[in-house]
Structure 1
Amino acid sequence: MASSTVNAGPRLDRLPISGFHKRVLWLIGAGMFLDSFDIYLAGGVLGALAKTGWSTMHLNAAFLSSTFIGMLIGAFTAGMLGDAKGRKFTYQFNLAVFGLASIAGAFAPNMTWLIVCRFFMGLGLGAEIVIGYGSVGEFMPPAVRGKWSAYLSLITNSALFVSTFLGYLIIPTIGWRAMFAIVGAGAMIVWFIRKKMPESPRWLESKGRLDEAEAILRAAEEESARVRPLPPIVDTGRRVAAKTTLLDLFSAAQIRRTFVSIVVQVAVNMVIYGFIVWVPTFLMKQGIGMASSLGYTTLMSLGGPAGALVGVLIADKVGRKNGLIAVAALAAVIGWLYGHSTSVGMATVLGFLLFTLTYLMVALGIATYVPELFATENRMRANGIAGCAGRITGILAPQLVVVMYMAGGIKDVLSIIVAACAAMAVVLAVFGIETNRRSLEEIAPAAGPDADGPLAGSPLSHESNH
């Protein structure tokens, strides 16, 4: 297939930030926010279901399992669909799936039906995360790509507080069904608004749909030119539109990147599902009452948006690889200190810091770095495979926590967190490449059978993957 004449990457990379970029962020972010809201509402809803006798602990566990299984399948299928059918089609499809399933859940006649509905919610929820984080960077200029990906992480993770707060207001008064109705109705509204979302010109170009890519690029250029005159196009070497398969991610050319992306997802999810979700339990096991433990946990949870906000501020300054290494190393130290904390005050401060560092790793790693490592034609599949590894970690980590807690208490649990963060830092130091302020076309693996580096013929092709 001949090289494309559209040159989508360099044309997008030179654009000053305009209303075009802000619309893309908010249209993707609205779905991501609802996705996160739907995930986090589980805690309050399950508590109410158990308290009223509508459910049991066994059925609640099945509800959580169905969520994770759905998200695991959703992450994988979204990766395949996203590269085959396009970013816009896929996130519209999965938004409709979890929106309609949420509405159905609001009318579930019994817990069994709610569990089935939750599986379908999970399908859409797992897919939305893969496509959302994978798509936003394809529109953003290299100099601020990390910042805007971190903005998406900030929007997404702010749903933790909103979902918890609305659950506190709504579940005791109106009931748990209203929570599913809210997210379902919101998803349908966003689905309708998001029909105006542009498809990624990079993806359209990779599929040879050049007229569609050209139309979107011209509209974006016209809007951005109103901000300031456009600089000349810097051609970094045009990529040939290529047919790829899932197995290409495990070829000599890309296995290193796939390995790094999986390690990042596993490590971050190990911290979230091995520590973050267990904080109220840990505090109560230490003799603190339920109300107080939830209060302390709420204080710590402010580290979620704080971490994403730090990501906005530093992502394009410190870089992804070096930033993640530093944050993972610091998280390992804080995790060790938390395991040896001697007072509730100390645990709260260290817990807040660990929350902050965890969601900073989400912003720098999952939202930004992992999607950057791959070429347009394989980006969603790679994001989906890494996301699957993260979901499997989320399923297994709680079981590991129980075993470790029974063996040696919170110190042994935190040793897992320390080990995961340390392992991620080492893997990044040895195998990671720096993507900061570089065009996605420059970062992409070379087309040769064994080369793993920037695009051959690009200005950076002679550099090592530092």
Structure 2
Amino acid sequence: MKNDNSPFAGARLDRLPTSKFHWKIFAIVGFALLTCWSNAIGGLVLAQLKVIGWTNNSQTALFTSLSTAGMFFGALIGGSIGDKYGRKKTFLLFEVMHIITMLVAAVSPNMNFLMVVRFFMGLALGALLTILFASFTEYMPSRSRGTWSSRISFVGNWSYPICSLIAMLLTEIVAPEMNWRLQFVIPALLSTFISLIAWKAFPESPRWLESKGRYADAEKVLTNIENEVSKETNSVLPEIHKDKTEKNEEEKQNISYTEFFKGKLLKRVILGSFALIAMNVTQYTLINWLPTMFLAQGIDLKKSVFLNTMNMFGAPVGIFIATLIMDKIPRKVMGIGLLSIMAVLGYIYSFQRSMLMISILGFFLMISVYMFVCYASAVYVPEIWPTYAKLRGSGLCNAIGRISGIIVPFIVAKLLDSVGITGVFILLGITCLITAIIIGIFGIETRGKSVEEIGSIK
């Protein structure tokens, strides 16, 4: 049990009114997510590489799978390092690694070299995404955590239409040989800028410091935050309502990975893993394969990039809608509903051949997909864990989710060659419906509950 010096970080952070502190954390995390778009350009880069003769469907599958394999290991490694050494240090470590790998990729001499670099790029990105999404929930108040998490997902996922627009612009002004290289350089430069800001302005998580027994450090950070908020609002902060569930945090801070395969933690691993499997299978199949699917249907490269760009504008629209309703609908209801819509709409989309219907239905499909991406990656999976195991739990689920991303590209390539795009969307639909059933069985309600209350595993 905690001693009398316990800072009760959760209760003190949850009582804070919305302030510049929250918007500062939001801006840093949101912009970091926005600029780490190395995965978002996967399909766009591959389309350029196919034009210059660097790749075919089999190599495309390997390229995609190596990236996903890297993200698998990154989620595991990043989660472990983040829970041990802190949120800020781990954030900056993998941000720098991601920048370096993007710059190295831009000067790749051949496809084999690029695929090796892509693995390490994926590793850095997998760790970075786990750290950013999971850590963010520790800074935001429980009353609006879902809305805040949806907001960073909204900002981060603008990377897809932005990088598509950049690729479309580059297609008009530079040759494919230079196009794909610049697509790596641009996000590397932008990520360097946000890393410098985070190094100076991003505080360590008081909840993490407290879970490690570093009460003095947690107290210092909390006092700075409270003074900043109090000065801004020019008022006395609300009374602290100490959550009794916080008292058990320190006792469990050193749990091993084996604990994740027992009891209620195992149920949360199953729940989070299936949610992220569905997200990865749908999102990354569409990101990496849509331009190739269009080319396979006889649509030329410029029109393929155009259609991909139009469809991708559904991403920020879907997440914007999610920000408006995330804290108004029970988590289980929202997850099951979105997965059902994705399954049905994807199947209908697969039969479309006209540019108009592909654009319209693709746009609405992306809206539903990215509402679920926001729900799964930014809100539900990060918030179902106690602080002492948050990054490891999120990392484990992300890693398991990535396994599907390693296997599925080869299945997609096979289906495209043998059945066509309808077979691909039937696969996506089955995945969505199975996940909806899992959420119905194992889902827990987290809406409006404190981090400490959700993390109380009895």
CA distance in 2, matches of 1:40, 1:127: 16
Pair 108,410 (structure 1): closer, same or farther in 2 beyond 3 Å: closer
Residue 130 of structure 1 corresponds to: 130
Partner amino acid for 1:235? K
Residue aligning to 2:427: 416
Q: Secondary structure at the match of 2:166?
A: helix
Task: Please say if residues 276 and 355 of structure 1, whose CA atoms lie closer than 8 Å, have aligned partners that are also in contact.
Answer: no
What's the offset of the Cα at 1:222? Answer: 1.9
Alignment of 1:171-250 (within 5 A): 172-173=173-174, 175=178, 176-195=180-199, 196-225=201-230, 226-227=232-233, 229-237=236-244, 238-240=246-248, 241=250, 242=252, 243-250=254-261
Whether the 8 Å contact between 2:318 and 2:367 is mirrored in structure 1 is yes
SS of 1:438's partner is coil
- Residue 163 of structure 1 corresponds to 163
Could you tell me whether the CA contact under 8 Å between 2:65 and 2:405 is conserved in 1?
A: no
In structure 1, C-alpha distance between the alignment counterparts of 2:109 and 2:339, rounded to whole Å: 45
Is the Cα contact below 8 Å between 1:270 and 1:417 reproduced in 2? yes
Equivalent residues of 2:42, 2:288 under 8 A apart: no
1:43-82 correspondence to structure 2 within 5 Å: 43-52=43-52, 55-57=54-56, 62-82=62-82
Q: 1:298 to 1:324 in 2, by over 3 A?
A: same
CA contact (8 A) 1:254 1:445 kept: no
Name the structure 2 match of 1:29.
Answer: 30
Aligned equivalent of 1:279? 290
SS of residue paired to 1:166: helix
* CA distance in 1: counterparts of 2:150 and 2:60, whole angstroms: 33
Post-superposition Cα deviations, 1:212-261, rounded to whole Å, max 9, x if no partner, equal 11111112212222335422112221233122111111111311111100
C-alpha spacing 1:205/1:233, structure 2 compared with 1 (3 Å): same
What amino acid sits opposite 2:20 in the alignment? G
1:231 partner letter: P
Q: Which amino acid aligns with 1:139?
A: Y
Alpha-carbon separation, structure 2, partners of 1:389 and 1:377: 20
* TM-score normalized by the length of structure 2: 0.90
* Cα displacement (A) at 1:284: 4.5
Output the amino acid matched with 1:164.
Answer: S
TM-score when normalising by structure 1: 0.88
Give 1:41-440 correspondences, 5 Å limit: 41-52=41-52, 55-57=54-56, 62-170=62-170, 172-173=173-174, 175=178, 176-195=180-199, 196-225=201-230, 226-227=232-233, 229-237=236-244, 238-240=246-248, 241=250, 242=252, 243-286=254-297, 288-341=299-352, 344-405=355-416, 408-440=419-451
**Cα 1:349/1:182, change in 2 over 3 Å:** closer
Count of aligned positions: 445
Query: Relative to 1, partners in 2 of residues 1:85 and 1:317: Cα closer, same or farther, differing over 3 Å?
Result: same
The one-letter code matched in structure 1 to 2:78 is A
Separation in 1, partners of 2:192, 2:285? 33
Segments of structure 2 that go 5 or more residues without pairing to the other structure are none
Deviation at 1:283, TM superposition (A): 4.1
Letter in 2 for 1:30: F
Native 8 Å contact 2:164 2:305 kept in 1: no
1:325/1:52 CA distance change after superposition, 3 Å: closer
Matched residue type, 2:371: L
Compute the RMSD of aligned alpha carbons: 2.4
The structural deviation recorded for 1:321 is 2.0
What SS class does the counterpart of residue 433 from structure 1 fall into?
coil
In structure 1, what residue type is equivalent to 2:258? L
Distance 1:162 1:143 in 2: 32
Residue identity over aligned pairs, in percent, reads 34
Report the equivalent of 1:9.
Answer: 10
- Cα distance, 1:348–1:49 mapped onto 2, change above 3 Å: closer
